[in-house]
Every structure is written in structure tokens, then in C-alpha cells.
Chain A
């Protein structure tokens, strides 16, 4: 009894024990390497496809700016939600975050984009701003008249019978210029993201 009491006191009177008892902390708080943090530049060349901006769900989180070295995506901390969609959407692997690029390479997956243009004919008043503003239209028919009327049917958007018609939706690049130029919020562009496995062709 007495011996065990002495052993007990001796054990707990040690300086190391007291220091550990009073100043113990959990392991240093570090962010693990696999954490999907803010995207960082890998140094590969950006080709200005803007898929990162299209995939981004947070307003104002990413933009692509022109620097003396070329185009460069820029992440805005405070807006970015660290979802990693820009990393997955980039066809060139300009951005990297956590292990997204590694797992995409291992699983052979890719995000594919398609676009759907929806025109609310009740709201459309036929001003033709969308068709004139559309950069795809501008490439096909640079001579497009002010009201959005044109002779060719190869266009993405065209005005006929006083309403906006979508002719070739597969030509859409998803820039949403028409949506921004519509005074009546009649036209809306949906960007459909699809994760595809083992794609045959690289966009």
C-alpha cells in the first residue's frame, strides 16, 4: 500500500508529466496535400477556351486575363468555392488543385460541354439584339443587318416573323452574349456539363 502510494506520487510529480498534462495540444493543424484547395497555375499554356469560366458556379470567382506571357486564368479568393470544376473543365490542364488532375488522368474522365438556347417567345419582342451581338453569327455573316435579319440560314440565331429563332444550336460556344444583350430577359443559355468516361476525341 505504502509502496504503491510512493510510486504513484513519484509518477505524477515528474516535470515531464506535469508539462505534458498542462500544455498538451493536438497535432499541428495542417492542411493535407489531397485537400482540393484554390486552383493553382501549372505553367501550361492557356488557349483561351474559357471553359473554366463557363463551368464555374460562383459569380466572379474566375476570369481569364491577358498578360505579357499570354492568357492566364485568375482565381478570386473570397468568391471561389473550391469546387474544382475549372480544373476539370480545362482542356489543357492549366490549373491544378489537390489530386483532381491525377484522378482525371487515372480514370480517363473529362467534362464535356453542350449548350441549349431557350427563347421565351412571349417575352421576345423581336429587336434582334441577340442575333446582332452573337459572335458566332458575326463570323458567319459579317454583313448582318441591324434588326437581326439575314439571307443565310447557317446562322446560330436569326429573326424571322418578328421573333428570335434558334437555327443551329450546335454552333453555340456558350458565351451568353445574347443573354446579356437581351433587354427583356427573353433568351437564356443553359450550359450543360456532362462528365464523360473515356472520351474518343479530345475537344
Chain B
């Protein structure tokens, strides 16, 4: 591994830009992502910055059970993110649909059918601790040696 690659790995593990998208949830998980920004959990001390612009993001947090309004939109949003990138499903909704996965509803979970999901954080809602540790464990694993892997 070259020295430049080492520097890149170091920087990428300490500077993670996060965008979040709510594809139809009850807002409970949005509040937990917001709680990560609060002084108690303080997501920015780990170098994670919630930027909410897919063009500048490294990690996409997907929240919600995928309502029909997001067809064709979520895929485009995912393709706007420059590689290396990863999507994390936050909460039960993107995994199984949670309470919304009942007969006669329009939701179309899991979100993994529509975009590739790197990690799932179950819970309704998950604790901010669990969201934080998922981001911190997924990001270095995916972003380390990116240039070597894609060569």
C-alpha cells in the first residue's frame, strides 16, 4: 500500500459526509438521526457531517418503507452520490416495512430491492448509539483501499 493510499484511508475514516433520505416513514427515525447531532451523542466529534446533499455525500441513510412516490427518484438520488459510497437502512421500515407492511398498503419494502444497502440498523426507532456505531463500522470497511479494490 502506498503512502498516498494510507493518507486517503486516514482522511476518509475521519471525514464522512452523510445525507439522509426519508422514503416514507413515521418520522421517528428522523428524530433519532437528529438526536445524533445533539451534544449528548455528538456525531461530529467522529468526523461525521450531516450535509444532506447527495452530490457531496459518502453515506446515504435511508429511512422509511418506500412509498410509491419514491419510485425512480431514490435510484437517481443514489446514482448522484460519487463513489466510494454506501447506503445504510435506518430502522425497521427499510428492512421489513415494520408496521406498514400490511395487506392493502402501497409501501414496497425492503429498500434493498431498489438500491444496494450496505448495512441495516434494526429498531423502531434504533437508538442514536446504534446508528452511530453502524456508520462508524461500515464507513472504514467500505472506503478503505478504495482505489486498490476498484483497480
A residues contacting B by CB (< 8 A) are: 24-26, 29-31, 35, 57-60, 77-82
Contact = CB atoms under 8 A, between A and B. Distances in A.
Tell which of A35, A59, A78 has the most Cβ of chain B within 10 Å.
Answer: A78
Nearest to B121: A78
B40 interface: yes
Contacts, number: 47
Interface string B117-141: 0001011100101101100000000
Given A78-B92, A82-B124, A59 B102 contact: yes
Contacts of A81: 92, 98-99, 123-124
A58 B92 contact: yes
A153 B41 CA distance: 63
Given A25-B45, A58-B124, A82-B124, A31 B129 contact: yes
A57 B133 CA distance: 28
Contacts of B124: 58, 80-82
Contacts of B92: 58, 78-81
A59 B120 contact: no
A78 B42 CA distance: 26
B11 to A, nearest CB: 16
Contact of A59 (B40, B42, B99, B132): B99
Contacts of A30: 129
A29 B129 contact: yes
Contacts of A82: 123-124
